[in-house]
Structure 1
């Protein structure tokens, strides 16, 4: 796999808006709109199965005030995806995020350094029962073994789907961890509100070696757990 890259979009708000008025579907739709004229990715939103990209919360986390500067990070294991987003942004100046009008301040491509310690940036989401659309909750079923076994299976499945390999990880997904808290995130789509349950982690540590290096690089680029393309499961390396 190639170098790790992420895109950082810095923008200025052109009007006042509540932070809660811009939800994850708005950001996802914003990203898809940037790709609608790209020959490779214009129909990416229609792809069935995994969509290999992720994004952060808009930060700093506070209400949008006219003239304030905020940032959004977009990541993907596919550098062509990141460059397609960048090229589209370079052709624009003013954009819209639901009720928020913005003007681009800067677009940066960064190459994060490797690390063996990660922290969750957005909640990690897993289904406990896919058929019932039931999310795993530590409050309902505090079982770390179940969580990390399910997380490992999901990670391997995504990696093999992307690379078309038959990779398997014999060891635990992480050697040590420090749980932070469970969270419930409200998202809106087509005037319907959904609650998605996830978890935040202060620390996730692993020993990186030549056999698993690409696998963990992939996880940093695409995210952990379910609903990565909706901005869940983003992790950052701790340096």
Structure 2
């Protein structure tokens, strides 16, 4: 099964270890292991190894499934355009409870993002919409994170986000069409709703080139998602471990 929440914890704070100075480039490769409790019925906990890739050159960046360019790139304030691949979705073979469901695929999205770094943390806002005609929806996300140095090598970063997902997006991934309904799976149409997430990570800088990051997050889904006949829980947790090498 494709996973968004397993990928994202590997990207956010990990990028802090590979930030490029102005007019300089930075390139990093890594491997991570992540485990998440799926909210889909019958799927359970999924664990897999995930590659990590990061590249930055001035105002341009690539981090995992997202690439972007900052149109405004000041020390504290940034506005940019982004392209990303949403890794949500499932196959009918992922669970006996999903048998007979059409495959829900990932989606290529385009959007805009802005961030503002303050003494109280970095605040961000992102809007992204489907450009591949898969879910044909959009998402608005507001986020916050702040890194606290613990020692010369250790830092801890709490983070939180809230996202508003459109009805088209939710219905594609959590809706059940009439043709997919069974005696044990009612037809369902999902409306727009909100998803909340909190997390914390710790980063250990081995040396100038190497780092290790561990993270954990908790996600809460709104009723429009949780009430679906293919969803068994309104919350999920995930943990991740990442090793990264900077060239």
What range is the shorter-chain TM-score in?
Answer: under 0.3
Greater fraction of residues in strand: 2
Q: Work out which structure has the larger RCO, using CA pairs closer than 8 Å and 6 or more positions apart in sequence.
A: 1
Q: Which has the larger radius of gyration?
A: 2
Give the TM-score normalised by structure 1: 0.27
Greater fraction of residues in helix: 1
